[in-house]
Structure 1
Amino acid sequence: MAEAEPPAPTRRRAAPMIRTAGATTLALAIATGGAYLAEWGPFAPGSPVPDPDATAQARAFLVDWAEGRLSNAGERTTSPGKAQEVLRNFTTGLRIDKPALTAHAATVTEDGTVRVPFTADMPVADLGTWTYDATLPLRKQDDGSWKVAWTLSLVHPHLSDTEKFRLDREGTDGPKVTDRAGRALSKDTHPSLGPVLSQVARAAGAGPRGAIQRVDRATGEVKDTEATFGKKPSQPGDRPIGTTVDSTWQTAAEKALAAKSGGKNAALVALRVDNGEILAVANSPSGFNRAISGTYAPGSTWKIVTTGALMLKDTVKPEDIVDCPKYLTVGKEFHNVETSEHRNATFLKDFTESCNTAFISLRDKLGDRELGDVARKYFGVGQEWHTGIPSFDGSVPAPRDETEKAASMIGQGRVLANPLIMASVTATAVSGTFHQPTITRGNKDTTTTSKLPQNVVEQLREMMRATVTDGTAKVLDGLPGGIGAKTGTAEVTEGAPNNGWIVAHRGNVAIACVVEQGKTGGASAGPVVRSLLSDAPADPS
């Protein structure tokens, strides 16, 4: 039994809500170990517009909280010491790892307080995700700065001076889970699989159970149950739960992340091209399953989808000249990594060198909704996937203006994905057919997609191969198997290091890897995938 410091000031009962972190459609996502920010608006016509300094302070507080920088978070409040203490007791006592905090549109009250509502997805270790809504109040200080007005209820609306939360767990042993060959899987032999195995067990209706209860601080009396997890405890003799995981690939994936991610938060997925079966899913550090439930801007790896959309309309060919200047302004200034330029470049060169400005210059070739429609129709992105465990299945909303459309062409703006999605995108691009990713067999498939034309598939394969031999993915050059790849660099927040991405395919396997704050994909995620492909067999059985 574990206890958490904060309870709730209000006696009004709120219906408990449990859903996976990956299922939330985000406006501002501070998830999976990183901060992914979108705009705060829109605001109702005629309503007071919140001071940008106040909303910036709210963003910073949520980022610090999500990242575990609780001292920094406390300093952003009117009661630094108390805030730090409560936040630490809350997350530690309830065994919460890597909160995902989604901010919504800010408002201004009559007394000038800026209120920023947010949704909290709190992953409770080995049990599930506790989701609830709360609000940050911010008030202007005498020196003109903005501070989060500290109150227990901003942590959770039912946290108060008289009540707190307690985590009750029932059993810790889940059912036996096996890989595709029937070999036992455990978090002892494959630490990164810890949260995945728990999710597999829960999906099968087994495994650990627990509840978050609201109790009286003085007497310990249970006042209410805020959330429950699990369906039934495992029983002796229960049949093992089979997965599609390949132990050899899983071991190689975990080894690669441990050796080559530089100690940064990172995630990787490898899956079969021909049927979508997941061979390996690795997270570093283990805890929140960012590889499958995370929400990231995919950066330039998304140019695979953008290229597919352009080629479906026959608006550009690899040999066409599409200039790649250092800068291009579309509402804001866009630039290439390290402000590189390639004058009079072919579109093939733009792809292999990952030229942002060239891709953005082609935005008028696609309708406002076309990129999202292609992602959904051909790549299955944004449809509901039944992988066997909770997953975030991607989001490609229609752009609200030209600047956002420009950003979506290069996998920024409000485009959201994760390694599972980008591994699937890669598999679809090189085979022409989308297969719903799965980690257990027998899951229903409600997706409906169309096959990519063969000429589009052939061109995408050729361009990805050229990216390895002559472009930004040369880190994979020299390995056998005719590997194709695409790197990506995704901006997170102003002044913060970029996330590094790489996707690759070899034989019947597609891979995607993200390294948070990795700066560039080739330099950070590239060595991880090279290590994996060096150790893993040519093709899984």
Structure 2
Amino acid sequence: MTDAAPLTGPGSRPGGPGSRPDGPSRRPARKAPRVVVAAGLTLALAAGIAYAAELGPFDPGPPIPDPEATRQARAFLSDWEAGRMSRAAALTSRPEQAERVLKSFTAGLDISEPTLTPGAVTAGEDGTVTVAFTAKMPVTELGTWTYASAVPLREQDDGTWKVEWALSLVHPKLSGTEKFRLEREDAAGPKINDRDGDALSSRTHPSLAPLLPQIAGGSGAGPRGAVRLVDRVTGEVKATEASFGKKSDRPADRPVATTLDATWQSAAEKAIAAEADGKDAALVALRIDDGEILAVANSPSSGFNRAVSGTYAPGSTWKLVTTSALLLKDAVAPGDVVDCPKYLTVGKRFQNVETSEHRGATFRKDFTTSCNTAFISLRDKVGDQELGDVAGKYFGVGQKWSVGIPSYDGSVPTPRDQTEKAASMIGQGRVQANPLIMASVTATAVSGAFHQPTLTGGAKDTTATTPLPREVVTQLRELMRATVTDGTASVLADLPGEVGAKTGTAEVSEDAPNNGWFVAYRGNVAVACVVEKGVTGGASAGPVVRSLLGAVPDDPS
């Protein structure tokens, strides 16, 4: 570093900083560049050190995870979630052990339909990738166990990625020395009886599986249990990972009474099992004069209670409400001619099932054949909010119901445009209901009075409705009866007595088959059934209702 060496030469003074006695002093300005150069060199060295240490602006950041690893983790979680244990295990480094553990974990803890949600993805210095996930594990009849874990992945020699199998992947505390055990306290839950005092259980009536815990919970208690972490050898409890249920002040020998009828419940479950062709379906039967629920059936029998909490477009069964709105203001009479063309365009093209048409048809014919285009052509006869007003005022739809278990009580929003109004006339658009609601609508239509549906009896009724005029009820009953004798509900024609019905077909999307609907009344009972992807109501839901009514000829007292 020559610029920093001391000056030497003629006339220089050994101790002087570059000045001579016989001349002007040498300027010290040359020292400044020496400092600058030295400082620059210091910065360069510091930068080099920073770069080597991956600090500051030269830090390249954490390793970037390979997208293929993330896709593999998501595929593993998706297969596990769907119960495809063999496929999930095949994505791991130890397929046989993985399949055995995944199956035993879900079966041993009575877990059904888990939800596994992937989260943050990180890459390690050793080339591994980890995908965090949240597990929501529904424990049958108890509740949902939620926890966090992660899927580790490692790249293979051939460039593919595999899930690095470990017990801790399933749950962070699962190991070779500790496992989980489900403990139930079924005795803590109250007994649940039908209207005649006969015991009900999910073993005798599988379709009640999603209802009974709710009924018990509403009584102040329900099934209790816990997931324990235990020693694999000794069985000693190490920790409690999840607890379910609560204690009740109700005496253990005091059962919960319901309005259900064991005979009707059994017949309803058998009808769905025999006639729904394995499709998802739901049915509700209730008494017309007081709203007491006799049967609630769901297929599949476990999981979501679609009969009471489902949200469906009710399709043409909603024409009971639309017809009521038209009759209430004398906008149409059964004998009036209301043409039924194949198509009618209101922003979009509407059509009838199988593009049927009935030129010069009466309104009675339109109802019994479920003509969409005829009903849509009458849309200007009712105000934009009128369908919702009639549904709430006379049928209680959209009001808060106290059924005894959680329920969805319907929605009829004001249409946003004429296309949506046209759809609302035929139970499409944003109109939402379920079998409980449509069984109640049927009961109100044929009796004139809304009775809040109830499953446990004695529930506080906070609804406020107005009875339908007697002449409207008479016409509705006649139209429903004609639908059985001369229309789309002929599947019930061979049943004795006065039986009336209305069919419905509800569009789901352009790519999915329609849902099939069927509502009916006989004596003091109203029934509603939906079969998902049933295509038409008469062909799918109709046989279910026919099977039920044929198996239980007498109404319950």
TM-score (norm 1): 0.70
CA shift, 1:465, in A, is 0.3
Q: Distance in 2 between the 1:237 and 1:127 partners?
A: 19
Greater displacement, 479-488 / 201-210: 201-210
Picking from 238, 258, 268, the partner of 1:253 is: 268
- Pair 1:498-2:491 in alignment: no
Q: Is the 8 A contact 2:227 2:240 kept in 1?
A: no
Q: Is the 8 A contact 1:179 1:185 kept in 2?
A: yes
Partner of 1:180: 195
Q: Is the 8 A contact 1:167 1:210 kept in 2?
A: no
The structure-2 alpha-carbon separation of the partners of 1:69 and 1:439, relative to structure 1 and needing over 3 Å to count, comes to same
Q: Is the 8 A contact 2:518 2:529 kept in 1?
A: yes
Q: How does 1:369-518 map to 2 (within 5 A)?
A: 369-518=385-534
The structure-2 alpha-carbon separation of the partners of 1:442 and 1:289, relative to structure 1 and needing over 3 Å to count, comes to same
Give the secondary-structure state (helix, strand or coil) at the position aligned to 1:286. coil
Partner of 1:363: 379
The structure-2 alpha-carbon separation of the partners of 1:167 and 1:291, relative to structure 1 and needing over 3 Å to count, comes to farther
Q: Deviations over 1:201-241 (max 9, x none)?
A: 1111112135799xxxxxx999998xx75332698733011
CA shift, 1:95, in A, is 5.8
Structure 2 alignment gaps of length 5 or more: 1-73, 93-97, 116-134, 147-168, 175-179, 229-236
Greater displacement, 256-265 / 449-458: 256-265
Q: Is the 8 A contact 1:169 1:208 kept in 2?
A: no
Q: Distance in 1 between the 2:394 and 2:144 partners?
A: 31
- Pair 1:353-2:369 in alignment: yes
Task: Kindly provide the amino acid, as one letter, of the partner of residue 492 in structure 2.
Answer: L
The structure-2 alpha-carbon separation of the partners of 1:242 and 1:495, relative to structure 1 and needing over 3 Å to count, comes to same
Q: Distance in 2 between the 1:523 and 1:221 partners?
A: 56
The structure-2 alpha-carbon separation of the partners of 1:212 and 1:320, relative to structure 1 and needing over 3 Å to count, comes to farther
Task: Kindly provide the amino acid, as one letter, of the partner of residue 495 in structure 1.
Answer: D
Give the secondary-structure state (helix, strand or coil) at the position aligned to 1:283. strand
Picking from 302, 318, 326, the partner of 2:342 is: 326
Q: Is the 8 A contact 1:177 1:241 kept in 2?
A: yes
Task: Kindly provide the amino acid, as one letter, of the partner of residue 402 in structure 2.
Answer: H
Give the secondary-structure state (helix, strand or coil) at the position aligned to 2:214. helix
Partner of 1:150: none
TM-score (norm 2): 0.68
CA shift, 1:361, in A, is 1.1
Identical positions, percent: 69
CA shift, 1:161, in A, is 10
Cα RMSD after superposing both structures: 3.8
The structure-2 alpha-carbon separation of the partners of 1:211 and 1:536, relative to structure 1 and needing over 3 Å to count, comes to same
CA shift, 1:537, in A, is 2.9
CA shift, 1:362, in A, is 1.1
Which of 1 and 2 has higher RCO (CA within 8 Å, sep 6+)?
1
Partner of 1:191: 206
In terms of fraction of residues, the more helix-rich structure is: 2
CA shift, 1:432, in A, is 0.2
The structure-2 alpha-carbon separation of the partners of 1:442 and 1:352, relative to structure 1 and needing over 3 Å to count, comes to same
Q: Is the 8 A contact 1:489 1:519 kept in 2?
A: yes
Task: Kindly provide the amino acid, as one letter, of the partner of residue 528 in structure 1.
Answer: V
Picking from 539, 550, 557, the partner of 1:534 is: 550
Q: Deviations over 1:388-440 (max 9, x none)?
A: 11111111111111111111111111111111100000000000000000011
Q: How does 1:109-128 map to 2 (within 5 A)?
A: 125-127=140-142
Q: Distance in 1 between the 2:413 and 2:182 partners?
A: 39
Picking from 222, 225, 243, the partner of 1:207 is: 222
Task: Kindly provide the amino acid, as one letter, of the partner of residue 276 in structure 1.
Answer: G
Q: Over alpha carbons, which structure has the higher Rg?
A: 2
The structure-2 alpha-carbon separation of the partners of 1:130 and 1:301, relative to structure 1 and needing over 3 Å to count, comes to farther
Q: Distance in 2 between the 1:257 and 1:270 partners?
A: 13
The structure-2 alpha-carbon separation of the partners of 1:70 and 1:330, relative to structure 1 and needing over 3 Å to count, comes to farther
Greater displacement, 490-499 / 228-237: 228-237
Q: Distance in 2 between the 1:475 and 1:502 partners?
A: 11
Partner of 2:156: none
Q: Distance in 1 between the 2:371 and 2:145 partners?
A: 41
The structure-2 alpha-carbon separation of the partners of 1:167 and 1:335, relative to structure 1 and needing over 3 Å to count, comes to farther
Q: Deviations over 1:337-389 (max 9, x none)?
A: 11111111111111100011111111111111111111111000111111111
- Pair 1:271-2:286 in alignment: yes
Q: Distance in 2 between the 1:514 and 1:256 partners?
A: 13
Q: Is the 8 A contact 1:261 1:515 kept in 2?
A: yes
Give the secondary-structure state (helix, strand or coil) at the position aligned to 1:175. coil
The structure-2 alpha-carbon separation of the partners of 1:179 and 1:368, relative to structure 1 and needing over 3 Å to count, comes to same
Q: Deviations over 1:17-71 (max 9, x none)?
A: xxxxxxxxxxxxxxxxxxxxxxxxxxxxxxxxxxxxxxxxxxxx9xxx89x8688
The structure-2 alpha-carbon separation of the partners of 1:161 and 1:438, relative to structure 1 and needing over 3 Å to count, comes to closer
CA shift, 1:307, in A, is 0.5
Q: Is the 8 A contact 1:171 1:233 kept in 2?
A: no
May I ask how many residue pairs the two structures share in their alignment?
Answer: 422
The structure-2 alpha-carbon separation of the partners of 1:192 and 1:161, relative to structure 1 and needing over 3 Å to count, comes to closer
Q: Deviations over 1:48-102 (max 9, x none)?
A: xxxxxxxxxxxxx9xxx89x8688xx99xxxx969xx99x9999898665699xx
Q: Is the 8 A contact 1:277 1:438 kept in 2?
A: yes
Partner of 1:342: 358
Q: Distance in 2 between the 1:93 and 1:360 partners?
A: 54
The structure-2 alpha-carbon separation of the partners of 1:281 and 1:161, relative to structure 1 and needing over 3 Å to count, comes to closer
Give the secondary-structure state (helix, strand or coil) at the position aligned to 2:456. coil
